[in-house]
Chain A
Amino acid sequence: MTIPKGNKANWSKGRLKGQNRLRLVVLGFSLCFAIIGGRLVELSLVRGFLQNDKARPTHQARLPRPDIVDRNGMLLATDIKVHSIFANPRKIIDVDEAVELITAVLPHLDSGKLRKKLSNRKRAFRWIKREISPTLRAELHDLGIPGVGFRKETLRVYPNGNLAAHVLGYVDVDSKGIAGMEKYLDDQGALYTASLGDPEKNASFSAYLSIDGRVQHAMADELAKAVVYFKAKAASGVVMNANTGEILAMVSLPDYNPNDPLSAQDAKSINRVTTGVYELGSVIKPVTFAMALDTGAMTMDSRFDARLPLAIGKARINDFHAQKRILTVEEIFTYSSNIGTARMALAVGIEGHKAFLRKAGFFDKLRAELPEAAAPIIPKRWGKLTTVTAAFGHGFAIQPLQGISVTAALINGGKLIPPTFLKRGLESSQGLATQLIKPTTSKNIRDLFRLNAVSGTARKADKIAIGYRIGGKTGTAEKVVNGRYSKNHRLNSFVGAFPMEDPKYVILVMIDEPQPLKETHGYATSGWNAVPTAGKVIARIAPLLGVKPRFTDAEKMRLAKKKQVH
């Protein structure tokens, strides 16, 4: 700095002026730096060490779809990363060499088409093959072909194929659930998905279903055999825990492979257990029995006149196994008498009947987790004839799932528990339960179920699943074809439970239009197809579910005879 000499007063005055300005600037800057410094100290020292409020990176990655596993942890649906290869034809130097190298690793590719793809220099991006395995990717990568690149994609896979397809549903190409539990999980929102997962680890936990993969497979396998053997159109089946409402297996055939969602579009492969509503027929009769017993309209010692068909207006109600005499309650159950059951409902009265069916939930749409649920079809006018037909399961259509969950209530001590496809404990299910009938009535229904398996229409199941003390009710419902009930189009069903003295599991088997066979002596009623199928299923799943067999002396004798034959 050069200071002009002389004129001291002027100089000192000028210096003073400059100094003041400088001081102002210094003050301004110091203030700024002091603020910044103070903030730094506050953020790093005060908050960081004293208040322990450490800054951490926020988690921004999208939560992955949770895996879906069965109740024992068997993997049913998972996300895997797959690699897709693409090419940029403009960057490919030697097309022939590239084609040769790629087809050497992927021999299924058509080399002519590939050559055409790679020769087109107008395009800068062509897929060569989507979704290849990591080993193939590594092989191709090591070849180092210029102009060939890889992209990572997320793919939802269902390693068990068709198993439990109707429960799982499927996802679209953007990995969004559009059916079944996949859709349910999406509809619950990100919060629910996050609750399954651990955000710190960027990994989600699995969604546990109530389904037991082994039981599901046994049911699907036996139903598939039955469809072939009885030349049926379709079949469906459910196994449910009687005390928790958990569904261990739900099968509907024909089914589809969720890995190929297009196969699910076929109208034949709808879920017959929840998406379809049916007149279930005689398997609804136990509901009428329970109602009549519970309201005191009859006792187990009551008798009903089944000598003549029941005439309501112009309609006449007949029996399939007509006995033409006065029947006891037990006989009405084992002969599956329409007349007797109708008289029970009339003894309760139209309003009482309606009130009981409403309490059982038959008038409302049952909605477990699956989004595919159909509303029941209930006649608008409910007269005497409606009550009479509804008593034996005709004139109103419900989801088979509703049928089995009410049956569970009839035999488990009277507790109606909403069914679920998610794993659930005994305590939480007891909290959801409503008392439908008295425990003593439930005991009577259990006895009737067992009686029907020992000496009634469900005998064949008890013979096949020997030792597991099963019980149940059969149903052979005539289907409506062109507006009329058809004698040759049947929907056969069996609803049962085991072990009958303390039912743990309820089972429903339905076979759609089974044909009469030589082996069934020309019969096609439920006792000849649905019942033995259910018996085979129970014989397979009871050991898996830990139900111990127990034999009566007569059964031991029969087993001994069988052994001698072998």
Chain B
Amino acid sequence: MTDEIRFEHISMEFPGVLANDDISLSIRNGEVFALVGENGAGKSTLMNILYGINTPTAGELYVRGEKVTNFSPKAAIDRGIGMVHQHFMLVPSFTVAQNIVLGREPKNAGVLFDNRKAEKLTRELVEEYGLEVDPSAEVRDISVGLQQRVEILKTLYRGADILILDEPTAVLTPQETDELFEVIRRIVREKQMTVIIITHKLYEVMAISDRVGVMRQGRLIGVENTCDVDERKLASMMVGRPVLFDHLEKTGTPGEVAIKVDDLYVADNRGLPAVRGVSLEVRRGEVLGIAAIEGNGQSELLEAITGLRKINRGKVSVCGKDAANKTPGEIRALGLSHVPEDRLSTGVDKAASVADNLLIGRQKEKRFNLFGFHQRRSTVERYASELYQKFDIRGAGIRTEVGSMSGGNMQKVVVAREFTFDTPVLVISQPTRGVDIGAMEFFHTRIIEKRNEGAAILLSSADLDEVFRLSDRIITLYEGKITGEFRADEITKEEIGLYMTGTGEGAKA
């Protein structure tokens, strides 16, 4: 085997973030190389350099021994590199065939686009690689799994022999994942392709890769032969220390029911059913965790409960009062606070100051108003400064724009605001996404404090360890349905994993 790709001392800095820090790495011809690391570890940035989307700030890149000087996707395509991005790069209104040939269209008489030939070429590829998909279907009408196939076919059409897959399984069902892995094995075996797969799911690394590189905070921590390591070893490399947090002291016994959801149906953005008949209860003084792979209805469920999304059928009550299809403001008035999944789009006003972001929700309180309308800026700033210190927000003070802060500090602003409402119900989604380990511990402690004080907490997180650590009870969601409910201390992560993929006991029977 020879070196297909060589990174030499590659660094990439974005404004304020060193995304890649002095990375040297070789990837061999004909191997499946897995690149693992937490969110924000710099995996995608490194691969975007390989694909020419990013030009590295420093360092060199060699492809088949040749130094890369021209960083552009076009040049990368010409070098035989194909990339399937995490967010698919497809034109929704174009057909499958039109998407595949985009940029290298077959032509009729040298001028007109030859749709028939495009579909014929697509069909040939479909047959050659066994990736079944209808060439004439519009991309917006086909499932996510099929869209991913279109992405792969696209790179193959362009003659790629190096294939980069950026978190390809995040949106796939287990069956689709199995099929994808089958395809990867086939193209490596039969076509001698080199495949780089970015992931943070360790069992996938074990299942598919020959070698694995671990990244953490922009650095490459190590490269191993997959057969020489196990998941535990990789996990400790990823987080930089053995995954072992201090024990969180949980006290008290659950009280009355504060969130009650009954036979709930909710649609996703495309109008497809995302939540299908979910019923659950959360009591005061307990944390109910939702374990699910992204895209199985957990986001829609929480949005429906908090009033951000329309409920098609079913009941929701908060603190004993009907909360179905009310506005977020009305539901908050019932006694609910919400740390939303996407803090940038929902949790903050990026253009506003820290103080303004901390104030919202309380702006009508008497102490902040003179004569009921004049905003008392000094009182607002004093209040904001208190929270700023209490929640250990670090930045250039309460007058800085929130948009210029790091993810962790931005999240602290959100948590500071929402937790200070002291409501009996807390809905928390992805509390530590993109947050460093130190801050993570901070958020966990705060959440358990709230629990011990008697709040009913509904928690959703993509981080299974987090769900385990914080929850008293765990439910698993799969394709919008609850597939299991457990006490957190009576089940293992491995078992939960089965239920999350719809292959648990219930599904098997």
Query: Are both chains from one complex?
Result: no
